[in-house]
Amino acid sequence: MTLSLITSMSLFALAASLSPGPVNLLSLSGSARYGAKVGLRFVSGASTGFIFLFLMIGLGLQHIISALPWLTLVLQWLGIAFLFYLSYQLFMDNGDLNADSSSSAPTFMTGAIMQWLNPKAWLASVSGIAAYIPEATTDQVLLFASLYLPICWLSLGVWVGIGILLGQYFQSPAKMRAMNKTLAILLAGSCVMILV
């Protein structure tokens, strides 16, 4: 692989990871409410889940998807339903800042599973592989994934940082509710944009 191709793949990974999406919004919300530790745990799960999805698609899942086009539609609708559920949960959150509420904090597994139900993650994986390594040899997929993993984690970490900064401002339940409702509407809006 050439340096220009590696650079292009890295820029694609950066744009796909840093751009707003469901995982980014939950990274922001979780870290604003529960702090850096919870935010980074969620981001680590989301990055791991995404790379696992990316590897599965790159190592053969795209052939199954090509053979069974209805599977893409089913996965898209399941993902959208899950994202609407998360939007509802975020919208209905009471904004309570007590430490006892950490049981509802986003976890590593929430992040990992969310990527498998995130239409943006599927699109980023399929389109990235199709655009940059259409033949998708094992070595190429592993190299692309090894570039993507730190870029994804650091990009989502930016959203955690923004959430921590916002969390310093939203130190009352009323302000936290307002932020959560705004983020819930944005998350639901991202689902609508997927459908359009």
146 compared with 63, residue with greater pLDDT: 146
Is residue 173 within a helix (H) or strand (E), and if so which, with residue range? helix 173-195
Please give the model's pTM, rounded to 2 decimal places: 0.79
Residue 160 has pLDDT above 50, yes or no: yes
- What are the E-state strand segments in 28-165? none
Lowest-confidence pick of 56-65, 141-150, 151-160: 56-65
82 within 8 A of 190, measured Cβ to Cβ: no
Q: Residue 99: its pLDDT value, please?
A: 46
> What's the CA gap between 171 and 155, in Å, rounded?
25
Condensed to tens digits (0 to 9), the pLDDT of residues 84-107 reads 887 787 788 776 655 445 567 889
pLDDT band at 67 (very low <50, low <70, confident <90, very high): confident
